[in-house]
Structure 1
Amino acid sequence: MRLAFISDIHGNATALEAVMKDLKEKAVDKVFVLGDLCYRGPEPKRSLELVQSLNCQVIKGNADEWVVRGVEEGEVPEQALDMMRKEREWTYSQLNEADIDYLQNLPTEIKTTISDLDIHAFHATPDSLFEVVVPFADDETIQEKLMGREANLYLYGHIHTPYIRFINGKAVVNLGSIGLPFDGSSQASYSLVDIQDRSIQASIVRVDYDIDEVIEKLQSSDYPNKEFLVNVWKNGRP
């Protein structure tokens, strides 16, 4: 069984299309989407429609929550709050009521069993859409924050920095980001998981996409924070 876990699309439909093409080429059996679909990119509506076309399990991320109810004080650095609220308002204006209802009613975690292996997937942590658990956190922190529920495989997004770790024989995977990577690579990132005879092989997949096309779409729009997005897409860092 070949599974793909993707997240943090952030309105970058061009990157998502490239990843969806890669999923077909790799003959993926099931796809799971771990949140942050629309906010902070030039094509929130088309990104949402592409996710829905996958007909798969989708959960909510913090950015989806922001689209629904706004960015609150204390959730982002004070100096970024005004601009991030403008970005949220722009994203909200590109969606209709059905889209907002869809985002609002997304669940916050996936629990599934495949080939007798238990999988727990969430956006940031099982208990929060916002908490940050970094790749270099010590084993005790990873266990406390991410591995509280019994499972063989744990997957999450949110930090836009992919990694794979094994702790006490269990795998912890961060998917990175489809549309807004923060790890120094401009390529889209997702995780591929192969399961056979209770054996897990997890990998991080990087996919090229046409960044110039995305920049052109952004520049032709009235998006309020263009320079930030262009810098991240080109350099893979905020």
Structure 2
Amino acid sequence: MKIAFISDIHGNAVALDAVLEDIQTKNVDKIIVLGDLCFRGPEPKRALQLIQNLKTDVLKGNADEWVVRGIKQGEVPNQALQLMQTERDWTYGQLTHEDVTYLKELPTEHTVPLTEKLTIHCFHATPTSLFDVVPPTADNETLQEKLMSKDTATIFVYGHIHLPYIRFFNGKAVANLGSVGVPFDGLAQASYLIVEGSGAKYTMGIQRVPYDVDKVVRQYETANYPNLKMTEVIRNGSL
């Protein structure tokens, strides 16, 4: 089995187009989506439609929850709350009632067999939270406690932090996909993960895909997106 995991599209449909084209060249058996589909990008509706057209397993992210019910005080820095709520309202206005219902009803975790001997547990941030942040610098004990609670799984995959990495310890593996639409690691390219297994053997690899960043910047501008500082994040591949 060969599985592509994608996450954190954030309404960047141009980057998602590039990733899906790249995946087509990799002969994967399945695509799994780990959330944050629409919010903070110039094409929330088209990004959502592209994901829905995959007809695959899709999980909810914190940004999907925000689209559904708004952003609560304490979930983002106080100085960012008003602007991000305005961004959320803009995104909500691009979607239909059916779109919002789809986001509301997404599950929050998924277990998938890679082989007859290997199982992957995947989620957006942690198995119990859409919002907790587990960074690449976390020690093994923290990874074990926050991410690796399912004893039957060998591989644990998540999104949310937009910082791709892979760690192996205690006979198991943890991987973050990075972000399709808004990478934070300083490389302005989309990021996703491929996991391939046979029997008890497996490989994992972060994939980086260039896309037309200038086009996305223009989309923010022509769409009258309420926070044009997002264009700097897109250009730089970092906050």
- TM-score bin (small chain): over 0.9
* Secondary structure in structure 2 of the residue aligned to 1:137: coil
Match of 2:61 in 1: 61
Alpha-carbon shift at residue 198 of structure 1 (Å): 2.0
Stretches of structure 1 lacking an aligned partner (at least 5 in a row): none
In structure 1, how many angstroms separate the alpha carbons of the residues matched to 2:176 and 2:196? 16
Paired AA for residue 183 in structure 1: D
Match of 1:236 in 2: 237
In structure 1, how many angstroms separate the alpha carbons of the residues matched to 2:64 and 2:218? 24
The Cα offsets for residues 116-135 of structure 1, whole Å up to 9 and x where unpaired, read as 21110000000000000000
Task: Choose the corresponding residue for 1:165, options 150, 161, 167.
Answer: 167
Alpha-carbon shift at residue 114 of structure 1 (Å): 2.7
Task: Choose the corresponding residue for 1:153, options 133, 147, 155.
Answer: 155
* Secondary structure in structure 2 of the residue aligned to 1:26: coil
Stretches of structure 2 lacking an aligned partner (at least 5 in a row): none
Task: Choose the corresponding residue for 1:218, options 192, 217, 220.
Answer: 220
In structure 2, how many angstroms separate the alpha carbons of the residues matched to 1:51 and 1:110? 17
* Secondary structure in structure 1 of the residue aligned to 2:91: helix
Match of 2:199 in 1: 197
The Cα offsets for residues 179-237 of structure 1, whole Å up to 9 and x where unpaired, read as 0000111000000111112211000000000011111111101210012x111111111
Aligned length: 237
Match of 1:87 in 2: 87
In structure 2, how many angstroms separate the alpha carbons of the residues matched to 1:79 and 1:205? 34
Match of 2:122 in 1: 121
* Secondary structure in structure 2 of the residue aligned to 1:148: coil
Could you state the TM-score of these two structures normalised by the residue count of structure 2? Answer: 0.98
In structure 2, how many angstroms separate the alpha carbons of the residues matched to 1:225 and 1:179? 16
Are residue 21 (structure 1) and residue 30 (structure 2) matched?
Answer: no
Paired AA for residue 170 in structure 2: N
* Secondary structure in structure 2 of the residue aligned to 1:9: coil
* Secondary structure in structure 2 of the residue aligned to 1:5: strand
Match of 1:183 in 2: 185
* Secondary structure in structure 1 of the residue aligned to 2:22: helix
Across the aligned residues of Structure 1 and Structure 2, the Cα RMSD in angstroms comes to 0.7
Alpha-carbon shift at residue 86 of structure 1 (Å): 0.3
Match of 2:105 in 1: 105
Alpha-carbon shift at residue 53 of structure 1 (Å): 0.9
* Secondary structure in structure 1 of the residue aligned to 2:183: coil
The Cα offsets for residues 115-165 of structure 1, whole Å up to 9 and x where unpaired, read as 121110000000000000000100000000000112110000000000000
Match of 2:144 in 1: 143
The Cα offsets for residues 5-44 of structure 1, whole Å up to 9 and x where unpaired, read as 0000000000000000000011111000000000000000
Match of 1:130 in 2: 131
Percent identity of paired positions between Structure 1 and Structure 2: 58
Match of 2:31 in 1: 31
In structure 2, how many angstroms separate the alpha carbons of the residues matched to 1:103 and 1:198? 35
In structure 2, how many angstroms separate the alpha carbons of the residues matched to 1:50 and 1:226? 24
In structure 2, how many angstroms separate the alpha carbons of the residues matched to 1:184 and 1:18? 19
Match of 2:40 in 1: 40
In structure 2, how many angstroms separate the alpha carbons of the residues matched to 1:4 and 1:112? 12
Paired AA for residue 45 in structure 1: K
* Secondary structure in structure 1 of the residue aligned to 2:113: strand
